[in-house]
């Protein structure tokens, strides 16, 4: 049974199961990983333990409605996320922050997040699909074996099932604190705006 976070809605989950595949891009490797919602926290914490220290914590959230109005002149324009970083951070500090806001990181459909350093990054993207970018794939293959995540020759993600008749939807949790409340608190401990990124 593959479970979705509360802020993620996918109408067609046929063929979707936990697993990963990998490919090379230039001199680096990219792992793409399907993770059932009950395992997101555990897998994220385990995978970031493979990343060197100190590193950077990255958080992405959509722009505000006012910013969107200014940036999107009409419906042909793309949507945008604001990207925030906290530099020179240890894995232990990432775990502390993640644990404090675990429900939002795991279940809110609006937030993307990750931890990286030179040569490595673990990132939880839209629809909570994990990506690992690395120049040292062996340690992630071992970590994924430790987590009993099978390697798939052709990994099927929710993106493969999307169509006009079977769309996906990402939404913010309608509870307090919100991800935007979380962002305000993260800014207080040193997170800074890096860029506004086109989706």
What's the pLDDT at 81? 85
- Is 2 part of a structural domain of the chain? no
Task: Let me know: does 180 contact 101? Beta carbons within 8 Å.
Answer: no
Buried b / exposed e over 21-47, threshold 16 CB at 10 Å, is bbeeeeebbbbbbbbbbebbbebbbeb
- Residue-wise pLDDT for 114-145, tens only, equals 999 999 999 999 999 999 999 999 999 999 99
pLDDT for 39-93, tens place per residue?
999 999 999 999 999 999 999 998 766 666 665 666 655 567 899 999 999 999 9
Residue 175 lies in a domain: yes
Look up the domain containing 89 and give its range: 8-198
Residue 58 lies in a domain: yes
- Asked if the structure places residue 1 within a domain, the reply is no
Strand ranges across the sheet with 28-34? 19-25, 28-34, 130-134, 120-124, 112-117, 55-62, 80-89, 192-198
| pLDDT tens digits, one per residue of 153-174 | 899 999 999 998 898 999 999 9
Q: Give the residue from 146, 147, 115 showing the smallest Cα distance to 132.
A: 115
Domain membership flag for residue 67: yes
Rg (CA), the chain: 17
Banded pLDDT at 13 (limits 50, 70, 90): very high
- The pLDDT of residue 158 is 96
- Domains in the chain: how many in total? 1
Q: Does residue 147 lie in a domain region?
A: yes
Q: Tens of pLDDT along 15-36?
A: 999 999 999 988 899 999 999 9
| Residue 27 domain-assigned (yes or no) | yes
Asked whether residue 193 is assigned to any structural domain, the reply reads: yes
Global pTM exceeds 0.95 = no
pLDDT for residue 195 is more than 60: yes
């Amino acid at each position: 049974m593959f479970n979705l976070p509360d802020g993620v809605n996918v109408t067609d989950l046929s063929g979707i199961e936990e697993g990963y595949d990998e490919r090379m891009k230039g001199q680096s490797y990219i792992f793409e990983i399907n993770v059932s919602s009950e395992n997101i926290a555990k897998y994220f914490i385990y995978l970031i333990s493979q990343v060197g220290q100190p590193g950077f914590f990255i958080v992405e959230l959509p722009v505000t409605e006012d910013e969107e109005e200014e940036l999107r002149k009409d419906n042909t324009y793309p949507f945008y996320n604001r990207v925030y970083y906290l530099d020179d951070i240890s894995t232990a500090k990432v775990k502390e922050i993640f644990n404090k806001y675990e429900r939002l990181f795991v279940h809110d459909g609006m937030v993307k997040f990750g931890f990286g350093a030179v040569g490595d990054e673990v990132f939880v993207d839209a629809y909570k699909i994990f990506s690992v970018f690395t120049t040292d794939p062996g340690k992630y293959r071992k970590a994924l074996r430790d987590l009993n995540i099978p390697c798939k020759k052709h990994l099927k993600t929710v993106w493969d099932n999307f169509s006009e008749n079977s769309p996906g939807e990402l939404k913010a949790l309608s509870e307090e604190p919100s991800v935007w409340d979380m962002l305000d608190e993260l800014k207080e401990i040193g997170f800074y705006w890096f860029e506004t990124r086109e989706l």
